[in-house]
Structure 1
Amino acid sequence: MTEPAQQGTESPEYAAVREAAQRARAAAPAVRAAGDGAIDDALRAAAARIRNGAHELLDANAADVAAAEAAGMAPGLLDRLRITEERLADIASQLEVLAATPEPATEWPVRTLETGERVFERRVPVGVIGAVFEARPNVTVDVASQVLKARSAAVLRTGSAALGSATALVELVLRPALIEAGLPAEAVQLVPLPGHDGAEALVGMPDLVPLVVVRGSGEVTRRLSVLGATAGTRVLAHADGGGVLYLDSSADPAEVTRLVSDSTDRLGVCNRLNLLLVDRPAYDRLLPIARAALDERGITLSEPPHAHPLGHEWALDSGAEAHVTVTAVDGPLDAADTATRETSGLAATICAADGDAADAFIDRYTGTGVFWNATSRLLDGYKLLGLPETGINVDHTPGPRGPVTYRDLGLRQFVVLPPA
């Protein structure tokens, strides 16, 4: 998208996002200066509103799901879109856990200079944080709550299929909860427009929204990252996913069955089993065990020779989500190298009884999470850290990596004071 200043006119999409960003910026100082406990009070109030207003939220989501089904949305994407009573209860519980989590220190001493000045490091809010995410309603609350806990205001843009659900969560839950806690409702903004133009606009206004969290398919996040970099916006991308499971020759058959089953309980999520690696000497022995577990889930193995990359992410392949790729490897080092080379580096598991094999795999793999006899589905902010997340970052550069929470959404500032 070309910026309006270059065109001489402003598109309706850009204008709508800019207005939302301006409202968020106006609310940001109040969020930063909120008294002790005010943010947590808002989160608790939001949890209560979810519990008490579940029927309205479920009705809004049912309308989104019905429209998506009529449009032919694939089952895996429908699973992400759908809200159930159980999922609403989980969202409320996570808000309560977040509210009970103490805020990190805002300032701490670093050193005293030879000339006597005292150096402190301080954590300060970003101000306004944007987020672009897939048609997954729970992410509306996950991201907004993390941004608020980081004492910033939020501008959210969701996939068009979830716009009705997201609107209900913002208007019926988040904004009233903010008001109840004495905070401005404008601290959470939702871009009200479907389509990609709103996302492109959000990453294109660094003066208003300096940081944007981007989730979704690799293609979309990479395109938005390029647009953001061109505009001068810091984009924190949560892109490609796909969990890896390596079955070592020492693997216990019962553990193989458990891990394959546990790793495929949901097919539309990024940390599900996507690539199955089997130690070559045990291929004919272990693969039938894994296949039986996948058959129980209604999942088809994509076996060699492959017409697609090994790391092809089935969760994003509409209509073909119920697949897992399998290939043979030569021991734990080759397995770790294959997982690192062929996938995004989200998470990988080794199923093994041999501790030396497990250590070799763990030391070699460079992704964001590595597991021994535990499912890659555990690579999740709430499961690992006890906190909701904005997403999972797989960058191979310094900065927030793995599940990103409010603790990662602050700025570093140095303060130098005179000698004591």
Structure 2
Amino acid sequence: MRVPGVAGCGRRKDGTVTDEVAKAVEECARAAKDAAPSLARATNETVDAALNGMAQRLLAHREAILKANRQDVSTAQSTGMSTGLLDRLTITESRLTDMADQLRLLASAPHQDRSVVVSTLPGDLQLVERRRPVGVIGANYEARPNVTVDVASQLVKSRNAGVLRTGSAALGSATCLLEGVIRPALAEAGIDERVVQLVPRAEREAATELVRLPDLVPLVILRGSGDSTRSLALTAAQHGVRTLAHADGGGVLYVDENADEDTVRSLITNSLDRLGVCNRLNLLLIHDAVHDQIWPIVSEALAARGVTPSLPPHEHPIGYEWALDSEREATVTVARVGGVAEAVRIANEQTSGLAAGIATEDAATAEAFFDGYQGTGVFWNAPTRLLDGFKLLGVPETGINLDKVPGPRGPVTYTDLYVRQYAVLPAGR
């Protein structure tokens, strides 16, 4: 895809971003902002028709989408991309069908009330909370073409225009999804198709430009590896752009002395079905009292998934995220702990705070774990892989926000993508 009026050009010899990359991002942002009113005033029925149209087009254009994705995967393989990243990049027949099913579910999900009466005020007045779209929301993500549909659909449902930016690995697939699925469905529903933009440049500098436009794109969703996402979040803050950043992950599982062995085996197995995702098992903490007894079960479960344990003494931080290590992603850190208090302390202080679970049959211990852990998701005899917008809430997510501030936390969906406006008006109006 090429944005009209944007010339193709490479880099300067000194490696700095070209004016053309910055221009491409800005033109996408301006186009999205110009088209945003078309979506903001669309009826609920129109929005849902667009989402159902996307689902239909995903299936109708299945072969073209899979072909474009195969080309992306082939190119990535030739450059030595890791198995976990290739898994993220790949769209299979079943994943494409799941994408269509999720779009239909999103279309059938209830719309947020645009106005909610809060209270009455003196003078025969009432206070109303109005929920308004942000306007234009940006999104930066790497080798995950399905995120193109996930984010675009969430933005449409919440009536926000969007500027999407992905890297070179997924750009072919993302372009096919935009041009063959998303935009035609919007147009057929009567919504300006320009409300969803895809930056047509693969340079990483395009992501930096996206977080420098506070007047055009005041909020940007950041998904990707920890260091790059943190760097983009810092740049955004310096330019007055707010972010919902999903930089780090890694699930924690604490095996208590009262854990059921079959439950432990199941949790490990079900937490490692995919190694390149943020909510997989990353750190396994085992109570000293049962370590030797349960180790054969743990070892067997890890081996069944082709995963190698990293045992003490560790030459890396205990919360090191293996999903981001292209050479050693099939690894889980294992450590012994003295009890639930030590497990909670490690999960709080030495991991990302994404998700932690406990395997135990003792309710009091589980409650202590729940009360102590401060992260985004906490699980009792359940795998951290469940920390996902669709698995938890029945709709796709734009990402998982780990901020410890008021606002959307955990899986962010269309119900979170609005700003509040307080209105005072005569009672009964």
2:214 aligned residue: 206
Q: Tell me what 2:195 maps to.
A: 187
Q: Distance in 2 between matches of 1:293 and 1:198?
A: 42
The answer to whether structure 1 residue 362 and structure 2 residue 360 are counterparts is: no
The answer for the alignment partner of 1:21 in structure 2 is 29
Which of 389, 407, 410 aligns to 1:381? It is: 389
Q: What does 1:118-157 align with in structure 2 at a 5 Å threshold?
A: 118-157=126-165
Match of 2:3 in 1: none
Q: Which residue of 1 aligns with 2:122?
A: 114
Contact 1:247 1:286 in 2 (8 A): no
Q: Match for 2:259 among 251, 254, 257?
A: 251
Deviations 1:74-114 (A, max 9, x none): 11100100110000001101000000001011101112222
Q: Residues 134-167 of structure 1, C-alpha deviation per residue, up to 9 Å, x if partnerless?
A: 2101000000110111101110001210000000
- Other structure's SS at 2:57 match: helix
Q: 2:46 matched to which residue of 1?
A: 38
SS at match of 1:109: strand
Return the alpha-carbon distance in structure 1 between the equivalents of residues 241 and 369 of structure 2. Answer: 37
Give the stretch that moved more between structures: 243-252 or 330-339.
Answer: 330-339
Alignment of 1:82-101 (within 5 A): 82-101=90-109
After TM superposition, list the pairs within 5 Å mapping 1:222-237 onto structure 2.
222-237=230-245
CA distance in 1, matches of 2:262, 2:44: 50
Q: 1:401 aligns with which of 391, 404, 409?
A: 409
Kindly provide the CA deviation profile for residues 261-292 of structure 1, in whole angstroms up to 9, marking residues without a partner as x: 00000000000000000001111112221111
- Over 3 Å off, 4+ runs: none
Q: What one-letter code is carried by the residue in structure 1 that aligns with 2:109?
A: T
Match of 1:5 in 2: none
Distance 2:373 2:293 in 1: 25
* More displaced stretch, 279-288 vs 376-385: 279-288
Q: Check if 1:173 corresponds to 2:181.
A: yes
Unaligned runs of 5+ in 1: 1-8
Pairs aligned (count): 412
* Residue 105 (1) aligns with residue 113 (2): yes
The Cα shift of 1:238 comes to 1.0
Q: Could you tell me which amino acid in structure 2 is paired with residue 334 of structure 1? A: E
How much does 1:195 deviate?
1.9
1:219 counterpart (205, 224, 227): 227
Match of 2:337 in 1: 329
1:233-277 deviation per Cα after TM superposition (whole angstroms, max 9, x unaligned)? 111111100000111111111111100000000000000000000
- Aligned-partner SS, 2:118: strand
1:254 maps to a residue whose letter is D
The CA RMSD over aligned residues, in Å, is: 1.1
Q: 1:59 aligned to 2:67?
A: yes
In the alignment, the residues of structure 2 paired with residue 329 and residue 265 of structure 1 have an alpha-carbon distance, to the nearest angstrom, of 26
* Distance in 2 between residues matched to 1:53 and 1:419, nearest whole Å: 52
The residue aligned with 1:4 is none
Q: CA deviation at 1:10?
A: 7.5
Residue in 2 aligned with 1:410?
Answer: 418
Identity, in percent, stands at 56
Partner of 2:171: 163
CA distance in 2, matches of 1:103, 1:265: 33
**8 Å Cα contact 1:108-1:120 kept in structure 2:** yes
Residue matched to 2:9? none
Deviations 1:200-236 (A, max 9, x none): 0000001010110001111111111111111111111
1:270 aligns with 2:278: yes
- Give the CA deviation at 1:418: 3.0
Q: Which runs of 5+ in 2 are unaligned?
A: 1-16
Deviation at 1:35, TM superposition (A): 2.0
For 2:49 and 2:395, how far apart are their aligned partners in 1?
17
Distance 1:11 1:403 in 2: 35
- State how far apart, in whole Å, the 2-side matches of 1:157 and 1:380 are: 22
Superimposed CA distance per residue, residues 334-358 of structure 1 (whole angstroms, 9 cap, x where no aligned partner): 1112111111111111011111111
Equivalent residue, structure 1, for 2:293 = 285
SS at match of 1:160: coil
Aligned match for 2:302, one of 279, 285, 294:
294
Following superposition, the deviation at residue 407 of structure 1 comes to 0.7
Return the alpha-carbon distance in structure 2 between the equivalents of residues 319 and 120 of structure 1: 54
Q: Which amino acid aligns with 1:381?
A: G
Amino acid paired to 2:218: P
CA distance in 2 between counterparts of 1:111 and 1:374 reads 40
* Structure 1: distance between partners of 2:18 and 2:127: 46
1:11 to 19, 23, 31: 19
Question: Is this contact kept in 2: 1:136–1:159, CA < 8 A?
Answer: no
Give the residue type in structure 2 aligned to 1:325. Answer: T
Per the alignment, in what secondary structure is the counterpart of residue 396 of structure 2?
Answer: coil
2:314 is aligned, of 295, 306, 324, to 306
Q: Does 1:80 align with 2:88?
A: yes
The Cα shift of 1:115 comes to 2.8
* 1:55-87 Cα deviation digits (max 9, x unpaired): 100000000000000001011100100110000
Equivalent-residue separation in structure 1 for 2:43 and 2:405 (angstroms) = 35
Structure 2 CA distance for aligned equivalents of residues 287 and 395 of structure 1: 35
TM-score (norm 1): 0.97
